[in-house]
Amino acid sequence: MPAARETLRRWFYRPWFLAMLAAALSATLLMTGSLFIAMHQVEQSESEEMNAQGERFLARLEQLFGQLRESLDDLEAQPLRGCDDEMIATLQQVSFNYRFVYEAAYRDDSRICSNRPRQEGLSLLRPPDIKGPTYSYWLNTTTEPDENRAALMLGRGNFRVATSRGHLTDMVDLSPGSSLLVVLDHGTRAIPVLGVSQAWPPTEPWPPKSPDALQVTHTRLIYRMPTNNPEYQLVLITPRTGMHVPAVWWWLLPASLALGVCVGFLVFLLVKQRQSMDAELTGAIRRGELQVLYQPIFDLDSRNCVGAEALLRWRRPDGTLTSPDLFIPMAENTGQIRQMTDFVLQRLLEQLGHLLRANPQLYISVNLAACDVMVPRIGQVMARLLTLHRVAAKQIAFEVTERGLIDVVVARENLQALRDVGHQVLIDDFGTGYCSLAYLQTLPVDCLKIDKAFIDALGHDAASSGVAPHIIHMAQALQLKVIAEGIEHEAQAAFLSSEGVKYGQGWLFAHALSAVQFIELITRGRRLGGRRLDDEA
């Protein structure tokens, strides 16, 4: 098993393998993503079209039904009853007045007469499909494809009016395979008015639970049209046109492949660069290019130096300095940070062991990375070095950032173990992470370091200018010490001191100093002279 893991790990270190993997993954992702978006757009436009068609049909059908009802009202209102020439003329007049009335008829127990005497469209004797208080409706009165047959009939009293199939198809231009149905009896029965016959109901349950007018199934679009009459509802069913991949997607295909290749190439370059940075860092440690500087921490009232923060520097052979902000994150990724933390601890005790023994109140704080906090290793390394150099544990403090506390439970245990042997634990860059008051209370810490960003904001109108005082009050409530970072102006120091902050570090007092400079500062009496101290770098 370990052998297989080792082989896998080796593969993942090969730039070309990672590049190909990235290219394949990104191309697949781009292609499926663009296909998904394209199909979604097709679906959306299909739905929009159906909604628009449904609304159009409904408006037209309302117009048609309106005319049929009006013509019936006219017939009912006029005084003639019975079948005579005058009645035939009246029926013809109605059919002439109303465009959608194809046939108008009078019917009583003995006779039936219509404006189209030779046709049998209205000789229908079956009971109405819908019987309302004023009007009755006969649907689908003919199934013959003859356009001149009455297809939809309305009745009031002794009169009947009908529209022809031709009129209906003119009004409702159904696409092939579609049907227009009238749904009766609370959705249990549906009568096709136009188009092919459909199995009913089209979806289970019917009516659907969703209030949306449009229902989309795999094969069909079903549009429910509300009507003014609660007795019936119109439903339009259309087969889906099939999910055609839009033409533009075929252009996206080569584009995705090209982008995938670009991503692969970039990954190749990045991995190569990272590998060379890896190698460079390893070389830097071996060749002794890493240095530790010490930025003094002062008591803000007495301006006495109480300790220092150990800060790493990478001085390249050509003399240039690489900022820890650049190489620390990389070392954290590659795991080389452990080596670096060990280096800082070892170097600081070698350089300052004597000073710390001579000044038992002095302390040095060391920055820990997330992976240092996740295992108890640091405690063991530290214990060995402290014994070797005969330095007290309380003289070494550890700084952890909020972001470094990935697994709080494990981190809490390890930090507590460090405190148990006498080390102090500080939260660095406080305020830039996600630590809340409630969360902070559960952590074994002694001190908060307020991030420079909030010190910079002091005295400005920026929204963040109130953060530092807030952190200070919070720390006071929790009886935690506070160190202000990045103090550059006297006014900031004075304000922080008036707020009750006891300690601070920053360029106002001193840059990061070499070990020699720091020893000199302490042995000179720890007090600041008139001028600022500058680092050797």
Query: For binding to ligand C2E (CB under 6 A), which residues are involved?
Result: 295, 311-312, 323-325, 328, 344, 367-369, 399, 428-429, 452, 485-488, 505-507, 512
Contact between 399 and Mg ion (CB under 5 A)?
A: yes
Contact between 428 and Mg ion (CB under 5 A)?
A: yes
Residue 506 interacts with which of Mg ion, ligand C2E, none, CB < 5 to 8 Å by class = ligand C2E
122 or 337: whose CB is closer to ligand C2E?
337
Residue 157: left if φ>0, alpha if ψ -120 to 50, beta else—which one? left
User: Could you tell me the smallest distance in angstroms from the CB atom of residue 456 to ligand C2E?
Assistant: 9
Contact between 74 and Mg ion (CB under 5 A)?
A: no
Residue 344 interacts with which of ligand C2E, Mg ion, none, CB < 5 to 8 Å by class = ligand C2E
Q: Which residues are within 8 A (CB) of 408 and not within 5 positions of it... i.e. 6 or more apart?
A: 439, 442, 443
In the numeric block, the tokens 């890493």 are attached to 290
User: In angstroms, rounded to a whole number, what is the distance separating the alpha carbons of residues 20 and 480?
Assistant: 52
Which of 429, 435, 454, 487 contacts Mg ion by CB under 5 A?
429
14 or 452: whose CB is closer to ligand C2E?
452
In the numeric block, the tokens 């109605």 are attached to 94
Residue 512 interacts with which of Mg ion, ligand C2E, none, CB < 5 to 8 Å by class = ligand C2E
Give, as ranges, the residues between 475 and 504 that touch Mg ion (CB under 5 A): 485
φ/ψ of 109, rounded to 5, equals: -60, -30
46 or 488: whose CB is closer to ligand C2E?
488
Q: What count of other Cβ atoms lies within 10 Å of the Cβ of residue 459? A: 12
φ/ψ of 152, rounded to 5, equals: -145, 125
- Burial (Cβ within 10 Å: 0-12, 13-18, ≥19) of residue 494: exposed
User: Could you tell me the smallest distance in angstroms from the CB atom of residue 449 to ligand C2E?
Assistant: 7
User: Could you tell me the smallest distance in angstroms from the CB atom of residue 287 to ligand C2E?
Assistant: 18
- H/E stretch holding 101 reads none
Buried-exposed string 112-140: b where 16+ CB fall within 10 A, e elsewhere: bbbbbeebebbebeeeebbeeeebbbbbb
Cα dihedral value 502, 506, 511, 513, nearest 10: 30
Q: How many residues bind Mg ion (CB under 5 A)?
A: 5
Interface with Mg ion by CB under 5 A: which range of 87-95, 190-198, 231-239, 421-429? 421-429
User: Could you tell me the smallest distance in angstroms from the CB atom of residue 252 to ligand C2E?
Assistant: 43
Residue 60 interacts with which of Mg ion, ligand C2E, none, CB < 5 to 8 Å by class = none
User: Could you tell me the smallest distance in angstroms from the CB atom of residue 491 to ligand C2E?
Assistant: 14
Identify whether the C-beta of residue 472 lies closer than 8 Å to the C-beta of residue 482.
Answer: yes
455 or 480: whose CB is closer to ligand C2E?
455
312 or 411: whose CB is closer to ligand C2E?
312
In the numeric block, the tokens 């003859």 are attached to 146
Q: What is the 3-state secondary structure (H, E, C) of 372-398?
A: HHCCCHHHHHHHHHHHHHCCCHHHEEE
- H/E stretch holding 137 reads strand 136-139
User: Could you tell me the smallest distance in angstroms from the CB atom of residue 312 to ligand C2E?
Assistant: 4
312 or 356: whose CB is closer to ligand C2E?
312
Residue 500: left if φ>0, alpha if ψ -120 to 50, beta else—which one? left
Residue 324 interacts with which of ligand C2E, Mg ion, none, CB < 5 to 8 Å by class = ligand C2E
User: In angstroms, rounded to a whole number, what is the distance separating the alpha carbons of residues 96 and 186?
Assistant: 36
182 or 426: whose CB is closer to Mg ion?
426
Residue 488 interacts with which of ligand C2E, Mg ion, none, CB < 5 to 8 Å by class = ligand C2E
Residue 323 interacts with which of Mg ion, ligand C2E, none, CB < 5 to 8 Å by class = ligand C2E
148 or 346: whose CB is closer to ligand C2E?
346
Interface with Mg ion by CB under 5 A: which range of 201-209, 250-258, 393-401, 517-525? 393-401
Residue 192 interacts with which of ligand C2E, Mg ion, none, CB < 5 to 8 Å by class = none
Identify whether the C-beta of residue 195 lies closer than 8 Å to the C-beta of residue 179.
Answer: yes
Residue 104 interacts with which of Mg ion, ligand C2E, none, CB < 5 to 8 Å by class = none
User: In angstroms, rounded to a whole number, what is the distance separating the alpha carbons of residues 292 and 12?
Assistant: 33
Which of 114, 367, 414, 505 contacts Mg ion by CB under 5 A?
367
User: Could you tell me the smallest distance in angstroms from the CB atom of residue 307 to ligand C2E?
Assistant: 14
260 or 506: whose CB is closer to Mg ion?
506
User: Could you tell me the smallest distance in angstroms from the CB atom of residue 441 to ligand C2E?
Assistant: 23
**What order do you get walking across the sheet with 112-114 strand by strand?**
112-114, 103-107, 159-164, 150-156, 136-139, 130-131
Q: If you count them, how many residues does the chain have?
A: 537
User: In angstroms, rounded to a whole number, what is the distance separating the alpha carbons of residues 137 and 68?
Assistant: 11
Identify whether the C-beta of residue 487 lies closer than 8 Å to the C-beta of residue 294.
Answer: no
Residue 325 interacts with which of Mg ion, ligand C2E, none, CB < 5 to 8 Å by class = ligand C2E
Which residues here bind Mg ion, judged by CB under 5 A? Answer: 367, 399, 428-429, 485
